[in-house]
Structure 1
Amino acid sequence: MVEYIVIEDAEGLASACDALADGTGPVAVDVERASGFRYSQRAYLIQVFRRGAGVFLFDPSTIEDFSPLQAAIGDEEWVFHAASQDLPSLRERGLEPPRIFDTELGARLLGHERVGLGAVVEETLGITLAKAHSAADWSTRPLPASWLEYAGLDVEHLVDVRDALAAELAEQDKTEFARQEFQAVLERQPKPPREDPWRRLSGLHAVRGRRSLAVARALWQAREDYARDQDIAPGRLVPDRALVAAVIADPQSKQALAGIKEFTGRASRTQLDRWWNAIVEGRQSGELPPDRVPSDTLPPPRAWVDRNPDADRRLKAARPAVEERAGELGMPTENLLTPEMLRRVAWNPPADITAETVGAALAEQGARPWQIEQTAQVIADSFVASVNEPDDAADPAS
């Protein structure tokens, strides 16, 4: 059973920060959000552990200013499990680590078969964690004691796991690999907003016609605005499939909309005026969206043999070579080099194929120096060999 202290006010924050500042070594940090329940990705609980200080659970719903916590631990290494999920929520509260250690990413680089927190803790420390509340609504107040204990366990063993993985990384000569990967996570910029986010509606492919797409766009925006206002996950108000069903049914009145049995969700009837107004707005819109939008997405590899035979040969030659190198390094292929990076350099290779030019092309896509060092020569050799490879010798798998 983990011992923890819940911090809910400025006085408790000051005391906790004094203890953490007096602690030693890296600081384990975790965040609980209410994904799937709330519109925002804000932190609803921030867990911190440091040796010599203990476990503290900070409640962001009652603490406005986290600058004392930043001051107390800001110069230390922060230890996360899947840091990319937590960093945005922490930054929203003014918390910024100077450097990190990511135990999930470290486990991937080491080739661990299971990389969830519970599996990594069990494999490295022999301790079994209960994961009963991972999908809970952390915006709930008051938080049940069993949830708080679960949250405390998420950080209590994390520094010990970090030390075990750091030793294993050193044994496998992967310390520098991990350092570069951790720094890349820390420096990664948020993706720019999608130009047409409404096109991510699940099932939108079944909607035909630009006018119907305009209705789908208006319904999506109406749901988005209401979800943001209520701070509720959009799908909990009206699921995607319900919005698409309303578009396809093409109701001619508000009553007809209410009669569509597939139009479900907690707000499907209570906000009926909102949805009907959106349908009317979409039908009257003078700006009709195109059926398709330009994209730099590559064709699926199975289509390459017809669309770009040379690229097809390059990919089929390089992919098993990169997979073999990943096997030699004892890590998943996607951690050595993402499939998208390999596909892009295969589709549009440098004019003069060498390890240096391939490496430069990979660097433009964001590959880290260690990844380039391990793969550029392998890819260049494969591309050159593919030029003389007969079409029927290529691997048919895509």
Structure 2
Amino acid sequence: MRVPGRTGPGSDQCCRRHHAVGRQWSPCGDGQRPGVTYRWITTDVDLVAHVERLLQQQRYALDTEFHRERTYFPKLALLQIADAEQIVLIDPLACDLSPLKALFESDVLAVLHAAQQDLDVLTHACGAVPRRLYDTQLAAGFLGYSTPSLVSLLQAELKVPMAKGDRLTDWLRRPLSNEQCDYAASDVAHLLLLHDTIEAQLAAEGRSEWASAACEELRVKPVSGVDPGMAWSRLKDVRVLKAKARGVAQAVAEWRERRAMSLDSPVRQVLPDLAVLGIAQKQPRTIADLAQCRGVDDRHTRGTIGKELLTAVETGLAAEVTMPAAEGEELERHMRPAVALVSAWVGEVARKQRVDAALLATRTDLVSFLRGDETSRLAHGWRNEFLGDGIRRLVEGRSALTFDGRGGLRLVDVTPEPAA
């Protein structure tokens, strides 16, 4: 095996010894393999061939590197895949990624860690996400971990040390350095063994189905993003705006969001938050008035942009916009104290059962369930079996929480007081 002086697109050699992985990783789990290699894929032909190979496997590990600070949508910079025999680094700047759809739509299991952002990136870059997904971070939550990083989970479960990555590294530059390639490859090198280790423990605890259900929830979760019509509600200090100003803020923020999407540019580069609020307060009717709004500069008053902003102001002045209810306010007033009570019990159940509390129920889940929403995650499935009866008993006054004298809480039966 030749060890080139540099690795990545533009290099005349395609692979090097991956010293960052070394002896700790074995596709067979025996820990005896002296080292692994990674290979660059920079051509459509090679990618098609590799996808055909992966379609014969039972599973593969997947990770991505991306940037989004200069664009509206995440920009995929690198895609890493490991199977039982090798690691490949796929250059999305050089390859057409459409062949990956066949892999994602197959029955081959994709193993990722903290997959939410990866799924967002793949949706935009490939137009598809894996049909079968296993997230080691989510699954570890059913073993008592609380949103563990890959570094901490590898250390705890496999005793594999892994260097933390440089958050400021530029994954879009070419060629990538050997250090970047080593780090990228190490992100997937241990995932299959970690999958085996976690799944064996979950099976012993009878929790494999819970983890599978949680992974499927993540897989089908809508791609993260902003509803243009609700973009205004994320502005700082928007709650102090009066009714007409809220309408203008809503219309201008929606215009900004849609323009940022069309340009694939960060929203604040299209129009800063200060300008949105300034326009909402001043409600300009002319270009001269628009130029006087705080945060507005010459870019925003020239040509079609200025005209479009004035049109948005006019639209906003004709709209009636109310602030969305704060979390918990959509409950009837007499039910609001129940959120804190039930949250305390959920936290205690999570502690005793060694389950990440965020997997059991978020505050949004609790509010939805207490409101009687049939689509609430707590209304069905393993969460309902775990928590549903206890929540109902607390809310109905048939049970209460007491201290157990050992730093914990316990649920005890009580006799409900007769209705007045």
TM-score class, shorter-chain normalisation, is 0.7 to 0.9
Residues of 1 paired with 2:262 and 2:341: CA distance?
52
Equivalent residue letter for 1:341: D
Aligned residue for 1:44, secondary structure, equals: strand
Equivalent residue letter for 1:373: E
Moved more, 84-93 or 323-332: 84-93
Cα 1:372–1:263 change in 2 (3 A) is same
Please point out which of 340, 344, 347 is paired with 1:320: 344
Tell me the alpha carbon deviations over residues 90-147 of structure 1, each in whole angstroms, 9 at most, x when there is no partner.
Answer: 3441544232211110122222245122222222222333333446564x34253243
8 Å CA contact 2:283–2:313 kept in 1: the answer is no
Give 1:177-326 correspondences, 5 Å limit: 177-189=210-222, 194=227, 196-205=229-238, 208-248=241-281, 263=295, 269-273=298-302, 276-285=306-315, 288-292=318-322, 298-299=328-329, 308-309=333-334, 311-312=335-336, 314-315=338-339, 317-326=341-350
2:202 is matched with which residue? 169
List runs of 5+ in structure 1 lacking aligned partners: 350-360, 390-398
Does residue 77 (structure 1) correspond to residue 109 (structure 2)? The answer is yes
List runs of 5+ in structure 2 lacking aligned partners: 1-19, 22-36, 402-420
1:340 is matched with which residue? 364
1:376 is matched with which residue? 388
Equivalent residue letter for 2:60: V
Cα deviation, residue 190, structure 1: 5.0
Does residue 13 (structure 1) correspond to residue 25 (structure 2)? The answer is no
Tell me the alpha carbon deviations over residues 247-298 of structure 1, each in whole angstroms, 9 at most, x when there is no partner.
Answer: 44667876786677x628xxx5545426543443244447523241565954
8 Å CA contact 2:248–2:280 kept in 1: the answer is yes
Q: Going by fraction, where is helix more abundant, 1 or 2?
A: 1
Tell me the alpha carbon deviations over residues 18-76 of structure 1, each in whole angstroms, 9 at most, x when there is no partner.
Answer: 55456x55200112332232111353322211111x22122333333532673499332
Equivalent residue letter for 1:8: T
Query: What is the percentage of aligned positions where both structures have the same residue?
Result: 21
8 Å CA contact 1:70–1:95 kept in 2: the answer is no
Equivalent residue letter for 1:344: S
8 Å CA contact 1:49–1:155 kept in 2: the answer is yes
Cα deviation, residue 80, structure 1: 0.9
Residues of 1 paired with 2:121 and 2:285: CA distance?
43
Q: How many residues align?
A: 364
Does residue 37 (structure 1) correspond to residue 70 (structure 2)? The answer is yes
Residues of 2 paired with 1:337 and 1:179: CA distance?
17
Residues of 2 paired with 1:315 and 1:201: CA distance?
24
In the superposition, the TM-score normalised over structure 2's length comes to 0.72
Aligned residue for 1:38, secondary structure, equals: coil
Residues of 2 paired with 1:251 and 1:67: CA distance?
51
In the superposition, the TM-score normalised over structure 1's length comes to 0.76
Residues of 1 paired with 2:203 and 2:80: CA distance?
28
8 Å CA contact 1:57–1:152 kept in 2: the answer is yes
Cα 1:10–1:289 change in 2 (3 A) is same
